[in-house]
Amino acid sequence: MQTDATVPLAVAVLVFCGIGYAYGISLALKVLGYAFAGLLLLGMPLLMWYSRQGELEQFRVVQDQHGGRLHTGWIPFVSGPSMTFEYRDSNVRLTIIRRSGQSHRSNEMQVTLEWPDPHLQMVIHPQGVLSHLGRMVGFQDIEVGRAIFDDAYVVKANDPDMVRSLLTKDVQHCVHALTEQKSLSVRIKRGRLTVKAQHHALSSNLATFTDAVLRLHDGLKAASEPT
């Protein structure tokens, strides 16, 4: 929902001009400073509350689609909400991870499912400057034979031949369809498929992200089955 701020801003300008005209610019600036401080004190908690309500509403959309149990987090704004549900033959966990120890706060959305092979290890993430440098000095980057995918992603695994068989054309399309591509990470390790990406409280769509991960899971499972 968008709010038109034109009228409040016009009123604020008129009040500021009125105070400046009647009592002097010095008092008007003091009033403006107090108003700005009050806006910070009241506005930031309201914005955090609004963001959290938006997160919970998105979790409820996923819950309406897949059922499961929603966990709102022990400490609001510190621990993120999460939910668990069953999908086909796998337990799924959807989580918002709070990253507050960095110079700027960066939250991540993560979907984890069971994977039948506990020995397979695989990581897929988008190509970057460091990735190109790593390739030049010989770091592992498995190619699947399609330039549009090989040029976009770094693929590492402990079984390159197995991973090439898993990354069919359909699976590659599923990876491309995942949202928040710049911060994307797809990992199979210790019998878990984990897909993680940056989460923006006011713009990320958890339901779209979750459905894309489930389609990726289905594609990988289909490719892993013997023909």
Q: Where are the domains of the chain?
A: 67-224
Beta bridge partners of 60: none
Sheet architecture: strand order including 185-189 = 69-71, 82-87, 90-97, 107-114, 192-199, 185-189, 122-126, 153-157
Distance CA 65, CA 178 (A): 18
pLDDT digits (tens, 9 = 90+) for 129-174: 666 565 655 567 899 999 999 999 999 999 999 999 999 999 999 9
CB 46, CB 22: distance < 8 Å: no
Residue 19, pLDDT score: 59
Tokens of 128: 């970057």
Residue 89, pLDDT score: 87
Q: Lowest-confidence range among 18-32, 58-72, 87-101, 111-125?
A: 18-32
User: 118 pLDDT exceeds 80?
Assistant: yes
User: 54 pLDDT exceeds 50?
Assistant: yes
| CA-based R_g, the chain, Å | 24
User: 219 pLDDT exceeds 50?
Assistant: yes
CB 28, CB 16: distance < 8 Å: yes
Average pLDDT of the segment spanning 81-100: 90
Cα–chain-centroid distance for residue 190? Answer: 23
Residue 72, pLDDT score: 82
Residue 104, pLDDT score: 41
Residue 107, pLDDT score: 85
Q: What are the φ/ψ torsions at residue 219 (nearest 5 degrees)?
A: -65, -45
Q: State whether CATH 3.30.930 applies to domain 67-224.
A: no
